[in-house]
Structure 1
């Protein structure tokens, strides 16, 4: 008789403790999943979360997931599309930033129950939903003994939710503190950037208990500036840079030969001196 490896639910407990020691790390992982799904907007809702038992809702308008993607990707613990060298970027060209499947499953365990509702962009009019009762999983002999069903239905009225994913985590295992909210705000700013660029990934937060968090991550945090430097590095290591003024007009553009440090000697000193002076302008 053939047998298969099985694992006890205590493994999931260890994953949660070691991979997501603070609630903000779990929330951030769910936001990264929205980014990797090519979402333009991600909405975070936190309610009654200063103590354990609160609710967390993370929704996005990304590509969503098919039933097959839910079963073979989302629910496959430890598997990540980024492990494949051909899957390092999203459909729109974003570099994927989410952790491996282990980080995602630990994030979903922030509460005692999670419901995932997703509407794939590739299947208009279709919605998939699954619910995981972690108390039931934790009380089982082996994780595989608890079946998880994916419900699929046709939808007639889209509302504002045409495609994307909603993750509803209920009965949080521990409260979210002020320090957690501050760390989350810093992490979100690193992902979204401080400037309100058209078409850029934006995160909004509805958290009455953490009003400072919503204020810190609003998209127009740095709408007042004199100069802004935008630089990029392609797959060949070639750099380009553009310097914008406060009106959004490009004052200088430089190719790799003009901005790379090792080639600086080929550029007139007066040009670099002026650029450095402008970049150091006050914000």
Structure 2
């Protein structure tokens, strides 16, 4: 008999399953994305629907004036499902009466996967207020079906001169 250590090696389709099974319906998916705006200390969030009766052309845009994300947050929070980032913020500040920002309400990090309930493609444009550049990336969730393991997923993230001045999450509808 021999012993060997094994590591979990999650399949890429796990992300799709999370979004599909943990998010009940399209309304909950939108609510999860709006909760992200709240957690980013946004004063407003605007949800716009365009051509949603045309599955190949439908678009949902969620705009807010929240804190935005930088490359560090993209890499170490957004791209790490299950992170405890919001929980740490909550624990550090829950009793601090002088904390000027809201305590986060999102906790599981599944809101981003709820976008899959709305369509196959998500585009993110985000900018920290103090930054000169914005961050852009696009994910086609339907491609994850063809990728074997989570570790094999690659997302090209671009830092560029601003084209937008608000955070925009564009979800292309494919029903």
TM-score, normalization: structure 2?
Answer: 0.82
Q: CA deviation at 1:34?
A: 0.7
Given the alignment of the two structures, is residue 166 of structure 1 paired with residue 168 of structure 2, yes or no?
Answer: yes
Q: CA deviation at 1:48?
A: 2.4
Alignment of 1:213-252 (within 5 A): none
Given the alignment of the two structures, is residue 139 of structure 1 paired with residue 146 of structure 2, yes or no?
Answer: yes
Aligned residues: 164
Name the counterpart of 2:125. Answer: 117
Q: What CA distance in whole angstroms lies between the structure 1 residues aligned with 2:50 and 2:13?
A: 28
Q: Which has the larger radius of gyration?
A: 1
Given the alignment of the two structures, is residue 151 of structure 1 paired with residue 158 of structure 2, yes or no?
Answer: yes
3-state SS in 2 of match to 1:49:
coil
Q: What CA distance in whole angstroms lies between the structure 2 residues aligned with 1:105 and 1:5?
A: 22
Change (3 A) 1:74 1:22: same
Segments of 5+ residues of structure 1 without an aligned counterpart are 174-283
What root-mean-square deviation, in Å, do the aligned CA atoms of Structure 1 and Structure 2 show?
Answer: 2.4
Residue-by-residue CA offset, 1:159-212 (whole Å, 9 max, x unaligned): xx2xx4211111344xxxxxxxxxxxxxxxxxxxxxxxxxxxxxxxxxxxxxxx
Check conservation: 2:59, 2:173, Cα contact below 8 A. Answer: yes
Name the counterpart of 1:83. Answer: 87
Name the counterpart of 2:67. Answer: 63
Given the alignment of the two structures, is residue 25 of structure 1 paired with residue 28 of structure 2, yes or no?
Answer: yes
Q: CA deviation at 1:51?
A: 6.1
Segments of 5+ residues of structure 2 without an aligned counterpart are none
Q: CA deviation at 1:12?
A: 2.1
TM-score, normalization: structure 1?
Answer: 0.53
3-state SS in 1 of match to 2:105:
coil
Counterpart of 1:100 (choices 108, 113, 119) is 108
3-state SS in 2 of match to 1:65:
coil
Q: What CA distance in whole angstroms lies between the structure 1 residues aligned with 2:145 and 2:100?
A: 38
Change (3 A) 1:63 1:139: same
Check conservation: 2:23, 2:114, Cα contact below 8 A. Answer: yes
Q: CA deviation at 1:99?
A: 3.5
Residue-by-residue CA offset, 1:20-42 (whole Å, 9 max, x unaligned): 12101110111111111111111
3-state SS in 2 of match to 1:116:
strand
Greater relative CO (CA pairs within 8 A, separation 6+): 2
Q: CA deviation at 1:144?
A: 2.1
Q: What CA distance in whole angstroms lies between the structure 1 residues aligned with 2:10 and 2:93?
A: 28
Change (3 A) 1:172 1:21: farther
Q: What CA distance in whole angstroms lies between the structure 1 residues aligned with 2:93 and 2:53?
A: 38
